[in-house]
Structure 1
């Protein structure tokens, strides 16, 4: 054991755990940050807001499976907690470190002091306080364990002192953890053989099965296994948004994403299925269109690491509690050879519906209109993306357009998406690119999303983060067209534009003013050279794509089409 300060221990422990970057708004854990400079190669990324720091840590975590670290003093802790909402909903292993009130200052109207600690409870798997430095080792270790085991998620430690300074400045005898990268899945849970046998029997009996691959497949690294299961059964395979990268878009059994952010054909196929197998996916409202796709009467096989999710919304569920990869390996072994002739008509029906959908949108995906149709923009990105691209998609329309029209077919391509926080895309993309310098991060967002954390373009420029930001610039929040149409009684009138229109801002020029290369695209033929130029630039690039203000992304429908 060695005598050291809390700051020295924290710096060395994070380094031992494989942390390569921390994201923060000053002033938090200042002595720790100095120790990092002297003892480690950890990058200390100062952001322009606590929410952005949390989003960057989230992007870092989702891109690697390693916990992303964000920090704030107690004055900024409430903002940091708000930024953890997306990591919590997206099952991302983020660790938040904050300061807390001094014992002598509590309840005395100390400058800007409030009790922030309760705010972390609803957005974390665990939230703990460290009042004495001797508890720092076990509490830090537990925060990493909580974040990376089972269903991943954010954790929080409040360190005594407004900036964590009490813990930093205390000295104690400690042993730095042995070097070893912490990441999800930290522990893999094997399935019960009886559960596997029941699942195999249900799958063999199905005549119209569909497999849905979720974010747990991505976390587990089980893409090959889930596709192998679809091939073995001859079953159409869908994905959730979080699982989009797990199934190549050009696989003959791939049907896309069902639910709310969906292709109409994928929803139709789910409606006609007699059994749906969910792998590493919650059966939440988005992927099921509020439990209409498929109907709750549908038989389900559900393989997931989280026992409380199994049978939660679908009463006729065959549950399998397991890590996705271990569960799929066991299921493939239990199934053995399968006669896929019995499901041939079903595969042909699914292929027909998928082809029919592609034909129905061909005029839009091939449109030469200027301003651009978003269908053309996202469809073209499918073949313009680098082979090693990680697409980071914002929520709202950005999520809808990429869900329906962006195809990922290369084995190294990845996809990360916001779980609901508009503006998440840019800072999350910065975090993902810092985490994965071997990949090319491409952020897809709208001008409405970009404006949330526009200042983080300066962060990308300051660190020369070589990501590409593609902005679907419709000069509005046009996702609000439908709700405002309803609110105005069926037709937009009066001063409705005040509620969703923006000024026409040249975002490429704005980017240039912040040190980011800006390119403006006003017609479809300009997108390919813009992406090519972005690939050649060593640093961040923003491509401002002027798009149709009236183009509204389609939401999922549960209406059945004629057979």
Structure 2
């Protein structure tokens, strides 16, 4: 008896059915790519989000992936491939599972000055784990599954498929003779992960037992492994404080007495100071790069380290004297907690940490309640903290948006999420729209400066078209506030000159701009209006932009630096 085999189908239908099988609910694209495939997707219930730039499509797929744990899909035709590649930088740096599809000119046009064509593989080399050429439709069952497999493994990152045909039409028209669909499990971050060995746990437990001032530094990897309960239990049972990278925020509530705050270059002063005081640092799903370590100075080089990570390449990359624990952060922390009993010294250390953090928070309280005009950003952060629902998602841009929200905006509820730009200015607004697609039942709030929002404000039309109920808050100070003092310092001792030309712009009424796109726009200049406006906008569950006029001169908290040796 012969085995039943699926009937052959064309590439367009196979791609659409594969996406459905893999749990892809939305695709983000810039015309013109895979048009017949998009028609097939509609029949299967997959939403097709047409954007106004390739970078926006990539950012939306990134936000979708981060909040849902599923693979985000973005697509562009041949001439848009370079722009799409540029948009993958944030997903690559953050380790988000994204699959990017592009078209390319057919082989007979290669190396012959084809109109609008450049080689794609070099463009994607630095922002993907793999860039694979799809020459024939019959390759799809293998390469599509492989792309999703690589995107979601223990070190998730974007993967690129370059499809034959300007818009992938050669692949779409081709026949898939053996159209077995990819395993559904490849469509999201893995549930089952490699487990750390008993030997590694024993070595880490031994090192922990010898410390007096241990601290956890938790990163994105712990969020992706959903190690929330394990981190909280570890901190509470053993009285060990928790610091985080930006990507690790919300692993425990930011108001918890064991929470130090963010550490590194985007840290409030207590974060770096306290991690520097620790005599053992346990990195959990944190790559220990220059940002979360304040340029590899916090902790100091030579500090004893335990590093727990699913990506074995990261263990020991940036610090010596590391006890490595390769495996699932959830399991490793639970096992490590079982191997240790809280020491009295750890409680004393935890109380010291809580006192230092509490004193700093008390010092900041007057600023967060300031009635000054223009509105201070500390007050804006406080009002967002109080308005964000218990299941809310906060999406923050890079630069000062990242620093302000990392230091002055509390996320006190266990069900809240924090997504942040890994470096691309303008990322937050498209990413917030993608996050809303990935978590349609959760309130999403975007925090962006005016300088960042200018990048992709055209996506207001996309938001209106799809009725995505994101509330976008613009910290509108008519300039790049982060660099204002630095620019002024370059003019010191000079007569005349115009520093404003370097980093000031506007003023722009973004509420009026939003209304022109059909999105409700509200301009706030009085701090007393902030709280009610925010709460009403979030509760309305519709597209809203809140343009908050703030003061450019107040400085965000600056990271503490250890004294030079």
Q: TM-score range by the shorter chain?
A: over 0.9
| CA shift digits 1:374-406 (9 cap, x unpaired) | 111112211111121100010000000000011
1:227: Cα distance to partner?
1.4
Residue 96 of structure 2 is aligned to residue 92 of structure 1 = yes
Residue 515 of structure 2 is aligned to residue 551 of structure 1 = no
When residues 367 and 491 of structure 1 are mapped into structure 2, their CA distance, relative to the original with a 3 A threshold, is farther
- Pick aligned residue for 1:41 from 29, 39, 45: 45
Q: Is the 8 A contact 2:522 2:547 kept in 1?
A: yes
| CA shift digits 1:195-250 (9 cap, x unpaired) | 10010111111101111121111100111101111122211111111110111122
Q: Is the 8 A contact 1:87 1:153 kept in 2?
A: yes
Partner of 1:123: 127
Tell me which moved more, 310-319 or 183-192: 183-192
TM-score for the superposition, normalised by structure 1: 0.97
| CA shift digits 1:275-307 (9 cap, x unpaired) | 111101110111110011111111111100111
Matched position secondary structure for 1:22: strand
Unaligned runs of 5+ in 1: none
**Aligned positions, number:** 558
In 1, distance between residues paired with 2:555 and 2:120?
Answer: 39
- Pick aligned residue for 1:523 from 523, 526, 542: 526
1:24: Cα distance to partner?
0.4
- Pick aligned residue for 2:22 from 17, 32, 36: 17
In 2, distance between residues paired with 1:329 and 1:422?
Answer: 38
Partner of 1:453: 456
- Pick aligned residue for 1:71 from 72, 75, 94: 75
Q: How does 1:180-199 map to 2 (within 5 A)?
A: 180-181=184-185, 182-185=187-190, 187-199=192-204
Matched position secondary structure for 1:505: coil
When residues 349 and 56 of structure 1 are mapped into structure 2, their CA distance, relative to the original with a 3 A threshold, is same
Matched position secondary structure for 1:201: helix
Q: How does 1:325-404 map to 2 (within 5 A)?
A: 325-335=330-340, 338-404=341-407
- Pick aligned residue for 1:108 from 112, 122, 126: 112
In 2, distance between residues paired with 1:520 and 1:491?
Answer: 38
Q: Is the 8 A contact 1:364 1:376 kept in 2?
A: yes
In 1, distance between residues paired with 2:385 and 2:266?
Answer: 17
In 1, distance between residues paired with 2:262 and 2:421?
Answer: 15
Matched position secondary structure for 1:212: strand
TM-score for the superposition, normalised by structure 2: 0.96
Unaligned runs of 5+ in 2: 1-5
Q: Is the 8 A contact 2:475 2:547 kept in 1?
A: yes
In 2, distance between residues paired with 1:297 and 1:170?
Answer: 58
1:266: Cα distance to partner?
1.1
Partner of 1:508: 511
Q: Is the 8 A contact 1:217 1:324 kept in 2?
A: yes
Q: How does 1:259-298 map to 2 (within 5 A)?
A: 259-298=264-303
In 2, distance between residues paired with 1:392 and 1:511?
Answer: 19
Q: Is the 8 A contact 1:12 1:176 kept in 2?
A: no
Q: How does 1:107-256 map to 2 (within 5 A)?
A: 107-177=111-181, 180-181=184-185, 182-185=187-190, 187-256=192-261
